């Protein structure tokens, strides 16, 4: 490839450090597609003969068929997928293959291929998240009225419903999908035709190639076109945020599946046993999802650090852009699928959840709210009165709704028998019917809206 400029070939060290074919062979479908769009444009504009364009296109189809059947060969002397394809094309169709590289560079070629690959990754993430959302919404609908403890600081706070809890993750994944969608729009510009960095002297039609590849338009600056990896960082940013949400959900399932909680039984298909303890059922899939989030965040950090100090335009550092993106995309796809399977297949132990919701004086806020509503007491005073009631109940080993009325009135005479209607966990969740609250009716409303948004309505 460099014979006209260099007297000797690269050393073994240079050959090994320079070759990217072990990982960028993953771009072969995108490379073939971009090359076919490029050669079709060259033929249509008369830059090369139409017959040569047809021959090259046919040869590219033949190369693609070989790759599909046998995989991409790894010849490190050819460095990357682009030269591997061009070399094989020359074997199949002869010297006319050399016309394919007219008016393009490997710089705009790899930028185009990588954008196409990342665009597919955006779509794959969105599709996977839609499946996870369907599982969340389905289970939330089943458990719109199933009571469980809500936590702050991992301490019992107020009763909520399991459906409400699951719908919180629906909201998170909706934001995740919006991030991928926004990034996809920004990235959907074609760098093909920017050539090495300055554009080309050939009268190419960049709008034609952009349209052929499904891009909205060609990029507007040739220097930026070949040096931009914002689209990859955008993908990793969205992937990292998604992985954090998945990790939080995984952590909750891990806690809930433990014997002290006992809130959920995870599917056997996504759990493992122990080599020494026969009784164990370990939430390994959830733990791996939790662990994968660190690797995905690491991939984002890796690419950001690679790009942070590069002058325009292309530098060889950018060859290291693809491994972190490929790794993160693979881990994210697995993580989303695992979480969707866990949510869909989980058995929720609702009686245990309800019993836990009755512990820890979870309806204390309801007593304070009752004092505000029924007795006209300022909330700060009501908070103090309720704290005294909780302290008394705790000393007696009783839940709040089992404290005798006389004891409550000894704390504050304005309390009457109507208070007991507000102190059950059912009354507590039913009362929280504000928009976005945990009341079963409100949860069912949100589930219905989510089902409509996901196209799940019958």
Catalytic residues: 153, 274
Beta bridge partners of 149: 159
Place of tokens 């190369």: 63
> Read out DSSP for 365-407?
HHHHHHHHHHH---HHHHHHHHHHHHHHHHHHT--GGGS-HHH
The DSSP 8-state label assigned to residue 311 in this structure reads P
> In the numeric block, which tokens belong to residue 446?
């949100």
Q: How many CB atoms lie within 10 A of CB 166?
A: 26
Whose CA is closest to 105, among 75, 72, 80, 76?
80
What burial letters (b/e) apply to 14-44, b meaning 16+ CB within 10 Å?
Answer: eeeeebbbebbbbbbebbbbbbbbbbbbbbe
Work out the burial of residue 314: count CB atoms within 10 Å of its CB; fewer than 13 is exposed, 13-18 middle, 19 or more buried.
Answer: buried
- Cα-flanking dihedrals φ and ψ of residue 79, to 5°? 70, -60
> In the numeric block, which tokens belong to residue 308?
């942070």
∠ CA 265-291-309, rounded to 5°: 155
Q: Are 162 and 350 in contact (CB under 8 A)?
A: yes
Place of tokens 């791996």: 288
Place of tokens 């936590």: 151
Beta bridge partners of 155: 152
Q: How far is CA 24 from CA 2, 15, 213, 223, 322, in A?
A: 21, 15, 19, 23, 7
């Amino acid at each position: 490839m460099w014979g006209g400029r260099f007297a000797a070939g690269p050393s073994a060290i240079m050959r090994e450090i320079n070759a990217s074919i072990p990982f960028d062979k993953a771009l072969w479908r995108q490379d073939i597609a971009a090359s076919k769009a490029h050669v079709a444009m060259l033929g249509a504009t008369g830059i090369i003969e139409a017959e040569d364009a047809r021959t090259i296109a046919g040869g590219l189809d033949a190369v693609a068929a070989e790759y599909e059947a046998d995989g991409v060969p790894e010849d490190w002397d050819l460095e990357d997928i682009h030269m591997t394809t061009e070399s094989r094309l020359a074997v199949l169709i002869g010297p006319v293959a050399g016309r394919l590289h007219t008016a393009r560079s490997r710089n705009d070629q790899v930028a185009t291929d990588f954008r196409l690959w990342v665009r597919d990754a955006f779509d794959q993430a969105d599709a996977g998240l839609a499946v996870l959302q369907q599982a969340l919404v389905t289970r939330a609908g089943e458990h719109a009225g199933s009571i469980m403890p809500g936590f702050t600081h991992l301490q019992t706070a107020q009763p909520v419903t399991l459906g409400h809890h699951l719908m919180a993750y629906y909201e998170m994944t909706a934001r995740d999908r919006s991030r991928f969608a926004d990034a996809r729009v920004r990235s959907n510009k074609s760098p093909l035709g920017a050539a090495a960095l300055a554009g080309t002297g050939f009268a190419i039609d960049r709008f034609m190639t952009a349209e052929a590849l499904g891009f909205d338009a060609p990029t507007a600056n040739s220097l930026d076109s070949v040096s931009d990896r914002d689209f990859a960082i955008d993908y990793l940013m969205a992937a990292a945020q998604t992985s954090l949400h998945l990790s939080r959900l995984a952590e909750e399932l891990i806690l809930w599946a433990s014997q002290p909680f006992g809130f959920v039984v995870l599917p056997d298909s996504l759990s493992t046993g122990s080599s020494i303890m026969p009784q164990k059922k370990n939430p390994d899939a959830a733990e791996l999802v939790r662990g994968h989030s660190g690797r995905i965040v690491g991939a984002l950090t890796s690419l950001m650090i690679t790009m942070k100090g590069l002058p325009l335009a292309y530098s060889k550092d950018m060859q290291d852009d693809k491994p972190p993106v490929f790794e993160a995309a693979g881990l994210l796809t697995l993580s989303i699928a695992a979480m969707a399977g866990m949510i869909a297949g989980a058995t929720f132990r609702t009686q245990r959840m309800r019993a836990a919701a009755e512990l820890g004086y979870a309806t204390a806020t309801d007593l304070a709210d009752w004092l505000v509503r029924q007795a006209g007491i300022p909330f700060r005073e009501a908070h103090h009165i309720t704290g005294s009631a909780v302290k008394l109940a705790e000393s007696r080993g009783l839940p709040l709704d089992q404290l005798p009325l006389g004891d409550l009135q000894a704390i504050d005479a304005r309390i009457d028998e109507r208070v007991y209607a507000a102190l059950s966990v059912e009354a507590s969740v039913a009362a929280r019917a504000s928009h976005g609250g945990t009341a079963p009716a409100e949860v069912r409303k949100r589930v219905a809206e989510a089902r409509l948004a996901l196209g799940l309505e019958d």
